[in-house]
Amino acid sequence: MKVREFSHWAQEHDDIVQLGATAGEGRIKDAEKKMGLTVPNALRELYRLHDGVEMAHGYIPPLAGEGSLPEMIDIIKDADLGWDLKTWLPFFDYQNGEYDAVEVASPKGRIGRLDPKSGEVNEIAKTFEEWLDVAVRLTEKFEEEVQEADE
């Protein structure tokens, strides 16, 4: 799923997905400066449309303010989990100690899940677009489970 398709889907599911406002290139560059890291193009495109995305199973933090991407990176750096942040930029927080990260040098945005115990990265999607498909499926599954529980 392309980023714009994801944006459209998320707007249609605003009961379970909250989208941040658009972020200009200046806000992205400010966050990069604070982190000392580069936001890869695949993720950069999403940030241009939405400065943060909150989903049922986790969130992509905004670029500034409380709970921001630079804050998340600082927490990961302080925890010293052995992750190579120059190679993998964590961007999705499951709020259970797991993070998904985009490979910085990957033109299509290969995604890996960072293991907080071993420091290893396990590929979960070959592209950022594939990861968006997975994120949509997980969110829709959560919505179905909530609806079934209400019945």
pLDDT tens digits, one per residue of 67-104: 999 999 998 899 888 888 999 999 999 988 889 999 99
CA dihedral 31, 37, 42, 44 (to 10 degrees): 20
Structural domains in the chain, sorted by start: 3-150 (3.40.1580.10)
Helix axis angle, 25-35 relative to 41-49, nearest 10°?
130
pLDDT tens digits, one per residue of 106-124: 999 999 998 888 878 999 9
The confidence band for 130, taking pLDDT boundaries of 50, 70 and 90, is very high
Please report, as a single letter, which amino acid is at residue 115: D
pLDDT tens digits, one per residue of 10-69: 999 998 899 999 988 999 999 999 999 999 998 999 999 999 999 988 999 999 988 999
